[in-house]
């Protein structure tokens, strides 16, 4: 939802590569259409992430909705992949579009959403530390605030 508010600023022309600043570039890979990591624009990457996550959430074999059905043995790795890719969307928003978020008066919503996301990530060790580096300073600040 937060990303949806900045789509007019995040176009293939304005964001031809999915990135989190100049040091971090993300390529899309999946098991169906992109067997090798592919360089795609940020809006294409985000569209792929959201469709991919939705397809996983709708998959009864991965997220069973009936009582008594076990989660698959690879459930933890699937959840880790989901969170890693969602983090990349946050990282792109913060590093590339924060001024637009602020001009729309949405920074408090973004910060609150991201803080809850990171607290969940840290509680259940969902993303490797090296993946969090693009927003490490922000994460440290948010975690310090949550201790107060």
Q: What residue numbers does the annotated binding site for Zn(2+) cover? A: 10, 15, 92, 97
> According to the model, what pLDDT value does residue 15 have?
96
> According to the model, what pLDDT value does residue 52 have?
96
Q: How far apart are CA 62 and CA 143, in angstroms?
A: 31
> Which residues of the chain are modeled with pLDDT < 70?
148
Domains and CATH numbers, the chain: 3-147 (1.20.140.30)
**Could you give the 3-state DSSP secondary structure of residue 52?**
helix
> According to the model, what pLDDT value does residue 148 have?
63
Q: How far apart are CA 12 and CA 139, in angstroms?
A: 28
Q: What residue numbers does the annotated binding site cover? A: 10, 15, 92, 97
> According to the model, what pLDDT value does residue 82 have?
98
Tell me whether residue 85 is exposed, middle or buried, using C-beta atoms within 10 angstroms of its C-beta: 0 to 12, 13 to 18, 19 or more: buried
Q: How far apart are CA 118 and CA 138, in angstroms?
A: 10
């Amino acid at each position: 939802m937060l990303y949806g508010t900045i789509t007019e600023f995040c176009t293939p022309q304005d964001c031809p590569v999915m990135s989190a600043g100049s040091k971090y570039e993300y390529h899309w890979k999946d098991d169906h259409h992109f067997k090798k990591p592919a360089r795609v624009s940020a809006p294409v990457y985000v569209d792929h992430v959201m469709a991919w996550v939705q397809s996983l959430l709708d998959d009864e074999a991965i997220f069973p909705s009936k009582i008594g059905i076990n989660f698959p043995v690879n459930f933890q790795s699937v959840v880790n992949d989901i969170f890693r890719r969602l983090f990349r969307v946050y990282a792109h928003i913060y590093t590339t579009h924060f001024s637009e978020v602020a001009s729309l008066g949405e920074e408090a919503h973004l910060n609150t959403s991201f803080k809850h996301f990171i607290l969940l990530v840290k509680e259940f060790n969902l993303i490797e530390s090296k993946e969090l580096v693009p927003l490490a300073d922000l994460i440290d600040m948010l975690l310090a605030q949550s201790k107060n």
